[in-house]
Structure 1
Amino acid sequence: MRRFARNAAVVFGVVFLALSIGAVGYHATDGLDWLDAYLNAAMILTGMGPLAPFRSSAAKVFGIFYSVFSGVVFLSMIAVLLGPLAQRFLHRFHLELYEDEPAPKPSSSSSSPLA
């Protein structure tokens, strides 16, 4: 649980940073007010698409790069968030796999198993 909580804190920090980068970019390039800029950045960050139409070429170019950036960030953060849970699941599955069957003993013969 501590690893999950630590990863969740990192994920929320990175998502907030990515959201802020998008909001600043939309505010600077397209002149959106802060609420609309954050909303547009949040919609793109989650893969839903922009809400406000782009009025300038600079905003369109920023939107292209921010969309690619946010897609990578979002998918990476999902992996970071679910990593400890997946590791715990695989660890438990591995322990239960060998719990019922005894571990194989090493053979003392010098013959090759392929021979």
Structure 2
Amino acid sequence: MKRLLNYEKRNQPLIPPHQFLIRLAHSGAISLILIAISLLIGMAGYHRFEKLSWIDAFLNASMLLGGMGPVDTPITNGGKLFAGLYALYCGLTVIVVTGVILAPVVHRILHKFHMESEK
């Protein structure tokens, strides 16, 4: 299990395909947790600052997290500040989640190319 969490070094062989799939599943689970936490932060903020119902807060937070933009325009100054900061946070979250998902694949490709160049 420890080997799945640590990437193999230059002089180590590639992990077997089934272990690689487990590594991908771990990356996917980490990504889902990050998305869920981000969604909860957005829902709590919209519920608190804009007094939206939980379902409307979910809609606004998920639309921002998905890159579409908010459905309800913020009215209060606190809501506007939250929406702006949350939008910036969502943009960074998308980049981080993409990196977490792609990291095992990119590492495996680069590791394989490095192994082939040593032969």
Q: Shorter-chain-normalised TM-score: which range?
A: 0.7 to 0.9
| 1:35 corresponding residue in structure 2 | 55
| TM-superposition CA deviations, 1:87-110 (whole Å, max 9, x none) | 1111223333444xxxxxxxxxxx
- Which structure 2 segments of 5+ residues have no match? 1-20
| 2:77 corresponding residue in structure 1 | 57
Distance, in Å, in 2 between the alignment partners of 1:67 and 1:74 is 11
Distance, in Å, in 2 between the alignment partners of 1:39 and 1:78 is 22
| 1:79 corresponding residue in structure 2 | 99
Paired residue type of 1:28: R
- Which structure 1 segments of 5+ residues have no match? 100-115
TM-score, L = length of structure 2:
0.77
| Percent of pairs with identical residues | 35
Note the aligned Cα RMSD (angstroms): 1.3
Aligned length: 99
Please say which structure displays the higher CA radius of gyration. Answer: 1
Equivalent residue of 2:67, what SS? coil
TM-score, L = length of structure 1:
0.79
Paired residue type of 1:73: T
